[in-house]
Structure 1
Amino acid sequence: MSAVLSVNGLSVQFGALRAVHDLSFEALAGQITAVIGPNGAGKSSLFNLISGAIRPSAGTVHFDGREVTGLPPQRMLAAGLSRSFQITNLFFELPVRENLRLAAQYLEQGQGLLRSLSRSARAAQRVEELLAQFELTRNADEVAGFLSHGEQRRLEIAVALASRPRMLLLDEPTQGMSHADTRDTEVLIRRLVRQDGLSILLVEHDVDLVMDLSDHVVVMHQGQKLAEGAPAAVRANAAVQTAYFGEAH
């Protein structure tokens, strides 16, 4: 398989803090690549660098064979890369359907905001697909703020997929979820890769979930790459156990 995302020597510094330093890794197409590490390891900064929210001080990002270093989020979306956020990021006062419709207007190629809803056929079709796919049809007209936490997180993933990206960055998608909702999200993520052919880069604190779900794991510690490899090899790595779990087993 070919790399859909390549990060090479990526660095960013905030004053004296080196949030990410000389980080390199690849994420293969059609696979789930996870980034783990203790709090403050630089995972969220890495996502912000890749998605264009902040510009790196050094290094490059290549996506789908093209250098995209420092491109703003809207251009990364146009290139086929979308992301969710660690803190749920929805229009809580709007219905579920409207949250999805606003995201799906992207498919109208810049003309969606000027068209009446009845003429936004591509966006409307995508909304109905997402409502069914994410089991939100019965909640379609419910205000997003009234959904359960698990439903809100599911809706946020659906919003991120409205533009039909080729790669999705998921920032702690199971944060605050119950055990049952976490398992449902795991099934959903697997289905997005196996059935829809999506490539996923995942930041997640639930280590058991990461090890069960991922094809490849990158471990960060103090802004740098500590280790990477198959889940079993990473979990058995003594340096990872010391840095991440607090002791070597």
Structure 2
Amino acid sequence: MNPILSVKGISVQFGALKAVQDVSFEAQPGKITAVIGPNGAGKSSLFNLISGAIRPSSGAVRFDGEDVTGRAPHQLLRYGLSRSFQITNLFFELPVRENLRLAAQFLEQGRGLFRPLARSQTAAARVDELLEQFDLRNKADELAGYLSHGEQRRLEIAVSLASRPRMLLLDEPTQGMSHGDTRETESLIRGLSHNHGLSILLVEHDVDLVMQLSDFVVVMHQGQKLAEGTPAQVRANPAVQAAYFGEKL
């Protein structure tokens, strides 16, 4: 099986700081790949390199065989690569439905923003699907800013999926969530992969969640890839244990 995402020797340097150094890994279609590491390990910088937020100093990113190195996020969206953000990124003064509709306008092939709302049928249909899928129908007309934190994070994932991407990049999707919201989000992410065939790459601080959820794990430490493999392989790796200062994985 050919990887849907291939990262080869990617690096970025900010002044004297080598944030990411010669990192390579692959993500398989329909699987959940996670990037973990202690604070300052470089995982967020790696995520930003892949998602187009920053340009690499060297190396390459390929998506479904296409070289997308340094492409901007809106360009990556056209390839089928979408992302969420570590800090909730919604229009808080707009209703839930409108947040979704604005994202779904992408499906109107560049014409949606200039059409009367009544004629944006493709976008409207996608909004209805997402409201149902993410259990947000009873919140459709509520301002996004009035949602609970867990509901806002769920809405942000729905917004990221409005364009029907083939791969979703999730940056700390459970940050700040309660235990109950975290378990719901875990189930949601697993369902997107296992039931809908979506490829997922996530950066996550909750190691227990990663080990339960992921098919493949990449461990970062001091800007470099320390280890990779299945959750069981990573859990048993002595170098990983040392990087987490003796924490039991």
After TM superposition, the score normalised by the length of structure 2 is 0.98
Distance 1:240 1:58 in 2: 26
Q: CA deviation at 1:44?
A: 1.2
**Per-residue deviation at 1:40?**
1.0
Query: Partner of 2:190 in structure 1?
Result: 190
Question: 2: distance between equivalents of 1:71 and 1:171?
Answer: 18
How many residues are paired up?
248
Does residue 125 (structure 1) correspond to residue 117 (structure 2)? The answer is no
Alignment of 1:91-130 (within 5 A): 91-130=91-130
Partners of 1:248 and 1:131 in 2: CA distance: 40
> Secondary structure of the equivalent of 2:209?
helix
Cα distance in structure 2, aligned partners of 1:72 and 1:205: 26
**Counterpart position of 1:247:** 246
Structure 1 runs of 4+ off > 6 angstroms? none
Deviation at 1:248?
Answer: 7.0
Match of 1:178 in 2: 178
Which residue identity does 1:167 align to in structure 2?
Answer: M
CA RMSD of aligned residues (A): 0.9
Are 1:28 and 2:28 an aligned pair? yes
Query: Which residue is equivalent to 2:166?
Result: 166
Query: 1:5 aligns to what?
Result: 5
1:151 aligns with 2:151: yes
* Structure 2 CA distance for aligned equivalents of residues 50 and 206 of structure 1: 21
Contact 1:11-1:58 at 8 Å conserved across structures: yes
AA of the residue aligned to 2:18 = R
% identical aligned pairs: 77
Q: Distance in 1 between matches of 2:210 and 2:246?
A: 19
Distance 1:145 1:248, change over 3 A: closer
User: Which residue number in structure 1 is paired with residue 54 of structure 2?
Assistant: 54
CA distance in 2, matches of 1:73, 1:174: 22
Could you tell me how far apart the structure 2 residues matched to 1:43 and 1:101 are?
31
8 Å CA contact 1:36–1:205 kept in 2: the answer is yes
Q: Which is worse superposed, 39-48 or 77-86?
A: 39-48
Counterpart of 2:135? 135
TM-score, normalised relative to structure 1? 0.98
Counterpart-to-counterpart distance in 2, 1:81 and 1:75: 9
2:37 counterpart residue number:
37
Structure 1 gap segments, 5+ residues each: none
For 1:131 and 1:2, how far apart are their aligned partners in 2? 33
Structure-1 separation of matches of 2:81 and 2:90: 18
